[in-house]
């Protein structure tokens, strides 16, 4: 059976959001190392040479991390004796490196212009909708009578869930920035807490998606409330389905029959 060919857009859709999210994390480390406040002037409409240099350095760091992870996974496949196409693996790594560089450097889009923030938010939304579509497709197959998830399926579902977490973090942060540019009421006041916009956005997203709801950060505008409703519904359904799939039974391979008697003994 012929393997599916790897395309750049396929890798871009699966890697951009986590790479962009990773880029924000690495920017915090760069900010700490050079004792500079990269995020303090998000509302500025211009970008200077130093900003471009930081963006390129951050892009290279993220690309290096992504390549390292893929090389580690490829080596693990060889060690486990699993069959894989070296040419396709090489293509995937090259594409992932490009997406990693873009994801790691585009954080500085927040310093370009408000239209850049809007475009970035729309892009992340499109990717999240694509992941939701893939999640629904995988769940329909797994929940068919007599079928059980493999550990590969569980890993894919977990990857999609983490993409959702990272994506909602970015959307909540960019929504805050869009209101800063517009000079309107801030939807969350992430920066008012301690100036850490993205860190507080991540905190708020995790608290929301895990249904903890501490209440220290709450939505104040109509668009942020609509986003909260959508985020809660999506995360609750995804989390419940993942728990149900895992507790239903996981086989080590797609061809391994599910032994109900064995499951009862365990």
What pLDDT does residue 135 have? Answer: 73
Asked if residue 23 and residue 131 are part of one domain, the reply reads no
What pLDDT does residue 64 have? Answer: 95
Asked if residue 140 and residue 223 are part of one domain, the reply reads yes
Measured CA to CA, the distance from residue 192 to residue 143 in angstroms comes to 45
pLDDT digits (tens, 9 = 90+) for 67-123: 999 888 888 767 655 555 677 788 889 999 999 999 888 876 654 555 666 677 778
Query: Residue 8's domain spans which residues?
Result: 1-112
Asked if residue 220 and residue 177 are part of one domain, the reply reads yes
Structural domain includes residue 73: yes
Asked if residue 80 and residue 189 are part of one domain, the reply reads no
What pLDDT does residue 68 have? Answer: 94
Structural domain includes residue 74: yes
Asked if residue 78 and residue 199 are part of one domain, the reply reads no
Measured CA to CA, the distance from residue 210 to residue 225 in angstroms comes to 17
CA 40, 43, 44 angle in degrees (round to 5)?
Answer: 90
Question: Quick one: tokens of 51?
Answer: 């900003």
Helices (H), ranges, 35-146: 49-80, 86-105, 114-142
Which pTM was predicted? Answer: 0.71
Cβ neighbours around 119 below 10 Å, total:
14
**pLDDT at residue 151 tops 80:** no
Asked if residue 73 and residue 176 are part of one domain, the reply reads no
pLDDT digits (tens, 9 = 90+) for 123-139: 877 887 887 787 777 77
149 strand-pairing partners: 250
**pLDDT at residue 176 tops 80:** yes
Question: Quick one: tokens of 197?
Answer: 């916009």
The CATH number given to whatever domain includes residue 183 is 1.10.287.70
Mean pLDDT to the nearest integer, 46-74: 85
Q: How many domains does the chain have?
A: 2
Which H or E run contains 150? strand 149-150
What pLDDT does residue 259 have? Answer: 46
251 strand-pairing partners: 150
Exposure string for 2-22, b = 16+ CB within 10 A, e = fewer:
eeeebeeeebbbbbbbbbbbb
Residue 143 burial class via C-beta count within 10 angstroms: exposed 0-12, middle 13-18, buried 19 and up: middle
**pLDDT at residue 254 tops 60:** no
Structural domain includes residue 2: yes
CA 133, 116, 99 angle in degrees (round to 5)?
Answer: 55
Asked if residue 161 and residue 51 are part of one domain, the reply reads no
Closest CA relative to residue 204, chosen from 181, 232, 226:
232
Q: Which of 111-115, 144-148, 217-221 has the lowest mean pLDDT?
A: 111-115
């Amino acid at each position: 059976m012929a393997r599916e060919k790897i395309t750049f857009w396929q890798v871009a859709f699966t890697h951009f959001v986590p790479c962009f999210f990773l880029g924000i994390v690495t920017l915090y480390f760069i900010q700490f190392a050079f004792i500079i406040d990269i995020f303090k002037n998000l509302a500025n409409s211009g970008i200077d040479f130093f900003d471009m240099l930081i963006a390129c350095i951050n892009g290279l760091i993220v690309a290096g991390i992504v390549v390292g992870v893929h090389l580690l996974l490829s080596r693990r496949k060889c060690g486990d004796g699993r069959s894989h196409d070296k040419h396709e693996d090489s293509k995937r790594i090259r594409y992932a490196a490009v997406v990693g560089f873009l994801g790691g450097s585009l954080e500085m889009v927040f310093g370009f212009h408000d239209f850049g923030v809007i475009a970035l938010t729309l892009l992340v939304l499109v990717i999240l909708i694509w992941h939701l579509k893939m999640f629904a497709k995988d769940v329909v197959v797994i929940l068919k009578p007599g079928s059980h998830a493999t550990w590969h399926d569980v890993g894919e579902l977990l990857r999609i869930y983490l993409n959702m977490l990272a994506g909602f973090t970015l959307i909540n942060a960019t929504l805050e920035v869009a209101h800063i540019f517009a000079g309107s009421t801030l939807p969350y006041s992430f920066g008012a807490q301690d100036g850490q916009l993205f860190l507080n956005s991540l905190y708020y997203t995790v608290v929301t998606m895990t249904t903890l709801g501490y209440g220290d950060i709450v939505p104040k505008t109509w668009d942020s409330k609509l986003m909260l409703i959508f985020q809660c519904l999506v995360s609750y359904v995804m989390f419940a389905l993942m728990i149900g799939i895992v507790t239903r039974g996981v086989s080590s391979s797609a061809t391994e029959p599910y032994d109900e008697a064995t499951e009862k003994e365990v």
